[in-house]
Amino acid sequence: MIEKKLRVDSEKRELPIHVRQGFPLGIFTSHFSEDTYHFVNWHWHEEVQFIHVLEGTFMFHVADNQIEVTEGNGLFLNANQIHKAQSITPEGKYIFIYFHPNLLTDQRSDYIKRNFVTPILSDDFVGSIPLNKNIAEDKRILDKVLEMKKIHDIGSKYFELDLLSCIFQLWKNLLITSENKSPLYSSQDVIANERLKKIVTYIDEHYGSQITLEDIAKHVHLSRSECCRFFKKCVDQSLFQYILNYRINRSIELLLQTNKNIATIAHEVGFNSQSYYTKCFHELKNKKPTTLRKEYKNKTLEKAYLNQIDLE
């Protein structure tokens, strides 16, 4: 499986791409397929996010909750929630909009912030809210996401102000729908969110060297057995399997984007030997790393050739 590459800092916090510098809003379409990527790995961001699934079915992992979202439906992700997205159909596509809450108001004592923004941001039980196309208020949110994408793509004069107007309407509908839904979160989910952030950040920072269960357990102040149980519950993978997958996925970037030899790549992503790396790669990807690199190069050459024909 191919991972979508994100810009993240040392704490796995996403560094967002905005419509305009100084206008903290992003509007994008993610297309999951064999030729692009299959999942977006664990990360978090200070922005709130609205997702509208256009094609396929996705599984969103938010802390230790799993939420399946089918075509036409969507999801709200609150700020600072660690999450992962995976397509569970061969192809899938969703629009996502994220913006910093300061777009609504950046005044701490402001009436709008106190009464309409902070109640959502500071509610530990609003980690995410599924959006159902068959519920009127949810559908208004989903339709607004589509409208904002259209406004952005057309890019008419003053379209930024149109987007800002949409954001306030979007937030109003979110407040209404949140009043009518039971929270998915519990007090334990709040703890899980912060704990999982620390674990995946630690793995990201140390995957190129030796990582022990003892190191991770100490980092999150848990016993080794409790650390294993917690991670398995949240991620549905053992710590060992997650680290192995993470290293293999990091190696794919090096295989496809550099000319480094296999032994060097194996060492850089934390394997002690090329043979063990190749064995693990084959078990997880059903092909050798050299085969994947060759296939990618052939496909790239084919695309370049076809593009050249189109130009002639």
The whole-number pLDDT of residue 188 equals 58
Determine the angle formed by the axes of helices 274-285 and 239-257, rounding to 10 degrees.
Answer: 100
pLDDT score at 63: 80
What DSSP line would sit under 32-84, residue for residue?
ESTTS-SEEEEEB-SSEEEEEEEES-EEEEETTEEEEE-TT-EEEE-TT--EE
Averaged over 45-70, what is the pLDDT? Answer: 93
By the 8 A CB rule, do 3 and 40 touch?
yes
User: Which secondary structure element, helix H or strand E, spans residue 96, and what is its range?
Assistant: strand 92-99
Task: Output the furthest CA–CA distance in the chain (Å, rounded).
Answer: 65
Residues 6+ apart with CB under 8 A from 185: 63, 65, 124, 125, 126, 127
Domains and CATH numbers, the chain: 25-179 (2.60.120.280), 187-297 (1.10.10.60)
pTM to 2 decimal places: 0.75
Asked if 8 and 44 count as a contact pair (C-beta separation under 8 A), the reply is no
The arrangement of strands across the sheet holding 128-131 comes to: 25-32, 92-99, 48-55, 74-77, 128-131
The model's pLDDT over 242-274, given as tens digits with 9 standing for 90+, comes to 999 999 989 988 998 899 999 999 999 999 999
